[in-house]
Amino acid sequence: MSGVGYRQLWAADPGGWRAAGAAWAGLTGPVEGHAGELAGSAGRLRGDWSGAAAVAVDARLTGLRGEVTSVAPALIEADQVLSELAGHLVVAKARLAEAVARADAAGLVVDRSGAVHVDPTRLRPTERAGVAAALRGALELAGAADRLAADRLDELARAAGTGWASPPPPGRPPAGAAPALVRAWWSGLTPAQRRWLVGHEPALVGGLDGVPVAARDQANRLRVGARRAELLAERRRLLTRVPPGPLASLRLRAVAARLAGLDALSDRLTAGEPRAYLLGLDPAGEGRVVVALGDPDHADRVLTYVPGMTAGLDDAPGELGRAARVLDRCATLAPGERSAAVLWLDYDAPDFLDEAASAAQARDAGPALHRFQEGLRATHEGLPARQTVLGHSYGSLVVGVAARDHGLAADALMFVGSPGVGAAHAGELGVPAGEVWAGRAPDDVIRLARPVDELGRRALLGAAPLAAVLGWPERTGHELWFGHDPADSGFGGRVFPSGRGGHSGYWEPGNPALDGMARVVLGR
């Protein structure tokens, strides 16, 4: 499809390319199954056979297993390449349709070859050149995407003959290395060396800010099965306790919830649009996960969403749905631009009200959020994307504290349902005041979260009812639990409207807050 023509682009089917990519990714299951069979065979032989011949056979089986498993990253990469091509085609087709509509409105006609003709009775002299340029831009975008995909697939085809992977030189980025340094290290490796690291050191690659999104996704997908096995093993340990006891029962329910969340997340990783990229996964504790919808490394606009209290692996699919709704709205408002949305749940969110009354967990999360945003900047291809960070509820405090104390690679910050962001004024957050946004529903109970006073302290220490902790009856003023209300004009930022919906209704269809969030992401 290189040198994409007008008729080709009209006829192009992005869904077909996505389906082809998914088919390649679907082969990873059988590959892992065959690798498991080889491992099982080797294990049985070790138990029943000894001597030089046994050692030789064991080595051969181990080598075969390595060859089989080395294919998995390439299968995922093929899926990524075709999904990215599909995403570019969606944008190119939207731009093409926009150009044709613009021509029609100007009294111009676009023929089947893409040539622009004049209707003398309706001509707007200034429009012909602009329409022609818009058509060329759409075709050039599709052509560039096609060439990139073809080059990457050609490289994969060559690797099938020369070897998928080869060990990289010694040396790895030190713990806490700046994402820019990580990016430079990764750029110095060959494709075969990168695939070796994905297959042999997925924990390193999957969690390293500064490694491109595609590689992190490959590495983390390879670990999903092992992560699920960890949860199943934890459940078996709890089930073998006799008697189980109330604490074990609570833990069993928590493990079951995390398993359900992981299974739902796995389903989203294998289906749905846009393609999901798994950038981090840890089922320990309440569970942590980082997932992108769309590829942030090639998007024009990138949203990072930080959820609040009680967020964990069990409800990650629901939180990802919120990010998806903002992304859908962006696609409606700007179909000719590529946007991506990231669910960032790489911190220990508070589970109980006494934890949520402290900024400690927000402070602990700050360095990780800072590094993640720096990593997005370091790995992005082409012109810099507009990066927006959104925090909901306690997540708004995480975003605010990270911005205040560490700085965030962000062009805009958004807060919804905020109990305060750890700042008295928007100017403390390191982005222009005109790019600090907030929204709050008129019936959001968070507006009653007033500053800590002696009554609040006693209520928390004595496990008093929620109403006492939140400080009912409502008091006047604009100070919330963690600082000045960011939705108040005195904070110095900007405000977008929200309809009623309580503390969690900001993403509901028809709520003007959803439109407001999308427009901030787009910079409109």
Residues linked to residue 211 through DSSP beta bridges, in sequence order: 209
Per-residue tokens: 83: 């999904």
Helix axes 52-69, 71-105, angle to 10 degrees: 10
| CB-CB contact of 92 with 9 (8 Å) | yes
What DSSP element (H or E) covers 207?
none
**CA nearest 424: which of 479, 355, 361, 368?**
479
Q: State residue 124's pLDDT score.
A: 58
Q: 296, 261, 265, 303: which is closest to 507 by C-alpha?
A: 303
- The neighbouring-strand residues paired with 23 are none
| Amino acid occupying residue 81 | V
Say if strands 108-110 and 116-118 run parallel, antiparallel, or are unpaired. antiparallel
Q: Which pLDDT value is given to residue 453?
A: 55
265, 289 contact by CB (below 8 A): yes
pLDDT given at position 122: 64
User: Nearest Cα to 219, choosing from 21, 86, 20, 28?
Assistant: 28
CA–CA distances in Å: residue 75 to residues 20, 26, 218? 11, 8, 9
Which H or E run contains 4? none
Residue 3 is predicted with a pLDDT of 66
Sign, CA torsion 236/238/242/246: negative
Q: Which two tokens stand for residue 201?
A: 């050191």
Q: Mapping DSSP to helix (H, G, I), strand (E, B) and coil, where does residue 344 land?
A: strand
Nearest residue to 58 via CA among 72, 44, 69? 44
Q: Which amino acid, one-letter code, is at 381? A: E
Instruction: Give residue for tokens 């030089």.
Output: 52
> 440 with 478: CB under 8 angstroms?
no
Q: What's residue 476's pLDDT?
A: 42
What's residue 341's pLDDT? 98
Q: CA gyration radius for the chain?
A: 26
Residues whose CB is less than 8 angstroms from the CB of residue 179 and which lie 6 or more positions away in sequence, other chains included: 209, 210, 371, 374, 375, 377, 378, 379
CA torsion sign for 107, 109, 115, 120 is negative
Q: Which among 163, 162, 182, 164 is positioned nearest to 173, based on CA atoms?
A: 182
Residue type, 262: L
CA distance 253 to 243: 16
Q: How many CA atoms lie within 13 A of 246 on its CB side?
A: 0
Instruction: Say if residues 191 and 155 touch (Cβ distance below 8 Å).
Output: yes
Q: Which runs of consecutive H residues, i.e. helices, occur in 349-483?
A: 353-356, 360-379, 394-405, 454-461, 466-470
Q: How many CA atoms lie within 13 A of 416 on its CB side?
A: 31
| Residue 34, pLDDT score | 62
Could you give the 3-state DSSP secondary structure of residue 63? helix
- CA 313, 314, 316, 319 dihedral sign is negative
Residues in the chain: 524
108 HSE (CA, 13 A, CB side): 21
Q: What's the pTM value of the predicted model, to 2 decimals?
A: 0.88
3-state secondary structure 252-309: HHHHHHHHHHHHHHHHHHHCCCCCEEEEEEECCCCCEEEEEECCHHHCCEEEEEECCC
Query: What pLDDT tens digit does each residue of the chain (524 aa) get?
Result: 446 788 999 899 999 999 999 898 888 878 767 666 666 666 666 666 767 776 676 666 666 666 666 788 888 999 999 999 999 999 999 999 998 888 888 888 888 888 888 766 665 556 778 888 998 999 999 999 999 999 999 998 898 888 878 899 999 999 889 999 999 999 999 999 999 999 999 999 999 999 999 999 999 999 998 899 899 998 888 888 756 677 777 888 899 999 999 999 999 998 888 999 999 999 988 999 999 999 999 999 999 999 999 999 999 999 999 999 999 999 999 999 999 999 999 999 999 888 989 999 999 999 999 999 999 999 999 999 999 999 999 999 999 999 999 999 999 999 999 999 999 999 999 999 899 999 999 999 998 877 755 345 445 445 444 444 444 444 445 788 999 999 999 999 999 999 999 999 999 999 999 999 999 999 99
The reported pLDDT for the residue numbered 128 is: 76
The DSSP result for 233-249, as a single string, is HHHHHHHT-SS-HHHHH
